[in-house]
Structure 1
Amino acid sequence: MTLLGKLIRLARIERKLTAQDLAERAGISRALLHRIERGDPKCSIGAVFEVAAILGVPLFQVDHGRLDRRLEEVDGRLALLPEAVRTRQAPVRDDF
């Protein structure tokens, strides 16, 4: 979700669209668009697909050469994120 959100943000900036303009075209709020761009997993998948379709972000048929170049820009930032936010807790011993 984070990667798709970053690709959507890059495509919006490349097309010189403001967040407000894109949100109006997609029929969503600007706040929802910002959540999509941040990769919030609670966003409606329909809204994410609508925004991606408007911007021309490939969802299923990927041009690997173009995508690889874009992902290199994003990859460095994503590599810095931790694998998990919460530490694993010891299993509960419930044998009485």
Structure 2
Amino acid sequence: MIRRARIERKLTTQELADRAGISRGLLQRIEKGDPACAIGAFFEVAAIVGVRLFNADDATLATAISANNAILALLPKSVRPSSTQVNDDF
């Protein structure tokens, strides 16, 4: 869910990691669901991208995960910052 929210907000892994004050590698492990990551890092990243980590029951969470996987299949594999410069020289 964190990865999906990051992609929808058009943030690169490096941009989100910088905002959260963590390394890019740690962010990638968080997005993969590595249980060895610090819980504080999970909370920080989730708060930045607006993901609620706790739901009332397992059925709600399972539904969210399956919907998440379906949407991730449609989203691009990576997000790149726009390389076009706006020419606003009058």
TM-score (norm 1): 0.60
The CA distance in 1 between the partners of 2:64 and 2:28, in whole Å, is 23
Aligned pair count reads 67
Residue pairs, 1:1-96, within 5 angstroms:
7-60=1-54, 68=63, 71-74=66-69
The CA distance in 2 between the partners of 1:55 and 1:34, in whole Å, is 14
- Higher Rg: 1
The CA distance in 1 between the partners of 2:41 and 2:68, in whole Å, is 25
Aligned to 1:81: none
TM-score (norm 2): 0.64
Structure 1 position 74, deviation (Å): 1.7
RCO higher in structure (CA 8 A, sep ≥6)? 2
Letter in 2 for 1:74: N
> Which segments of 5 or more consecutive residues in structure 2 lack a partner in the other structure?
71-90
Structure 1 position 68, deviation (Å): 4.2
The CA distance in 2 between the partners of 1:61 and 1:73, in whole Å, is 15
The CA distance in 1 between the partners of 2:6 and 2:17, in whole Å, is 11
Q: Which runs of 4+ in 1 moved over 6 A?
A: none
Q: Percent of pairs identical after alignment?
A: 62
CA RMSD in angstroms comes to 2.4
> Which segments of 5 or more consecutive residues in structure 1 lack a partner in the other structure?
1-6, 76-96
